[in-house]
Chains A and B, each alone.
Chain A
Amino acid sequence: MKQFHAFIKKEFLESARTGKLLILSVLFLLFGIMNPATAKLTPWMMELMSESLAETGLIVSSVSVDALTSWAQFHKNVPVALIIFLLIFCSSFAGEYQKGTLIPILTKGMKRRVIVAAKTAAMLVFWTGGYWLCYAVTYGYNAYFWDNGIASSLGVSAACFYLFGVWMITALALASTLFRSASSVLLASGGLFLIFYLPGLLPPIQKYMPGYLLNAPLLPTGQAEPKDFLPVVCITILLSIIQYAAAVISFNRKKI
């Protein structure tokens, strides 16, 4: 536990001093503001464009936006935030392999599983903090401009994509213990995503693949029920645990 505490402290200090923390804060805050802002600006933009649209034969009547428009934006934007998040952390292990900074740490008697645990935990803390900050900002603006009451199961729909992020982070951790360079780590994480995403295109198993979590935007509009997501939530949690365990085993055997 002492080793875990020491190493996760190092991870936080590193993120703070190398500017990762600042980038993440700005990123999630900006995305949080962008969702309601885009929704709010849509009618104005449509008005601006109405003349040119009229020339092509499209007639813009009154455009109405509400909290649902903003939540739809939220669900469109958070995958981009997740990709940037993974880009920032793909060198978490690879940077240490390349510089050799883990060697003095390991020869001090550091347990390898603690390194995997601390690095994964740090990523999860940043993801949790950033993602829910983004959610809170969007929620606050939406409540101010419109009424969140018209969107159903808001928390559940946001939690679905949050869980998808957790699953991708454990995939990144596993890839980081298998490959030495940041680019291979990213490719391998993308590969893992595809392995589970592509079979999800087949209707019979669609509901059981982590990719199904990306259908969470159907929840606020009432097109889906929270219970529809129960199997995929369980499976994704299980997959995340398996990926994490595989990362620990693979890191134990890794030549450093």
Chain B
Amino acid sequence: MAILQINNLSKSFGSHQIIDGLNLTVPEHVIYGFVGKNGAGKTTTMKMILGLLLPDGGEILVNGEKVRYGETATNRFIGYLPDVPEFYGFMTPKEYLMLCGEITGMKQDACKKRAKNLLDLVGLSEANKRIQSFSRGMKQRLGIAQALLNSPKLLICDEPTSALDPVGRKEILDILSSVKETTTVLFSTHILSDVERICDETAFLHNGKIALHQTADAVKHGKNVSGIEIEFYRQNDAAHFASKYPGGSETSKTTLRYTQKTENDMSYFMQLLLTEHIPVQRLQTLEPTLEDLFLNIVQKEDN
């Protein structure tokens, strides 16, 4: 059985249709990437799954039970990490987790033990100070601990990495990967490299619908077609390289950008730079934007 099933969901704010007939099925024990641009409706969808927003139409089933707005009983299956998690600043992490445990009806001893294990997992076991002094990354980690407290079947994370530095991002992604055995993770993001690193399946939200549903390999395959940018030391080096390999566009006097290139092209570029004795400041694979990826995959489907 699917842990999460969304059928024909719709939601609009005023005249603006955010979600328009969205269908989504998330199987158990996967990390499911929910990708979309900022403002695509990812948070709106998640809030409807959590019963915090009333949908205009359609239905949401969590673990086979229908989600109700207001008194949302299905939340007992769910752990939720908001995009900007905010907790009671006057409490310590341990006190906060004990509060959450009491709310979910956990026994005190069991909760104490679980809280300790989770604080170890997220690296906050030593942080015995009030939450108000926590950094953003620490709050994000505490957010994961509180979301996992009642061993949820479904962990929903709303852009858990978007505001963090690379080290913080890696830590969060590692934690999410490590809980996959026991829980299903639905994870929204607009950062493609995060999806590539940990997601088993990915859905792309576009114009209020799932534009595409992909497995991890397909995402990687789609991503291969990206760009390469070279920054030279001198202007005449750039001109010389351009004469040997036309098709690039000048983004500055010493920088050339080539689009739609593969890893093989990258090897050829390196070879060419060596044989021509052209030193470079920087040679870089360009991350495709979400739009590039949509275009690529849509174009492929059309072909």
Contact = CB atoms under 8 A, between A and B. Distances in A.
Are A and B subunits of one complex? yes
Contacts of B85: 104
Nearest to A6: B102
Interface of B: 50, 52-54, 70-73, 75-76, 78-80, 82, 84-88, 90-91, 95, 99-100, 102-105, 143, 146-147, 149-150
A253 interface: yes
A16 to B, nearest CB: 9
B155 to A, nearest CB: 11
A180 interface: no
A10 interface: yes
Contacts, number: 81
B281 to A, nearest CB: 44
Given A13-B90, A109-B73, A255-B52, 12 more contacts: A3-B105, A6-B103, A100-B82, A103-B82, A104-B85, A104-B86, A105-B103, A106-B72, A107-B80, A109-B76, A252-B70, A255-B53
Interface string A87-118: 00000000000011101111111111000000
B133 to A, nearest CB: 13
Nearest to A19: B90
16 contacts: A6-B103, A7-B99, A10-B91, A100-B84, A101-B87, A104-B86, A104-B87, A106-B52, A107-B80, A108-B100, A109-B73, A109-B75, A109-B76, A109-B103, A110-B103, A252-B70
Contacts of B71: 111-112, 252
A111 B76 CA distance: 11
Secondary structure type dominating chain B contacts: loop
Contacts of B90: 13-14, 17-18
Nearest to A255: B53
Interface string A235-256: 0000000000000000011011
Interface of A: 2-3, 5-7, 9-10, 13-14, 17-18, 99-101, 103-112, 252-253, 255-256
Given A10-B99, A104-B146, A108-B100, A99 B86 contact: yes
Contacts of A18: 90
A254 B99 CA distance: 23
Contacts of A2: 102-103, 105
Contacts of A110: 103
A254 to B, nearest CB: 8
Nearest to A99: B86
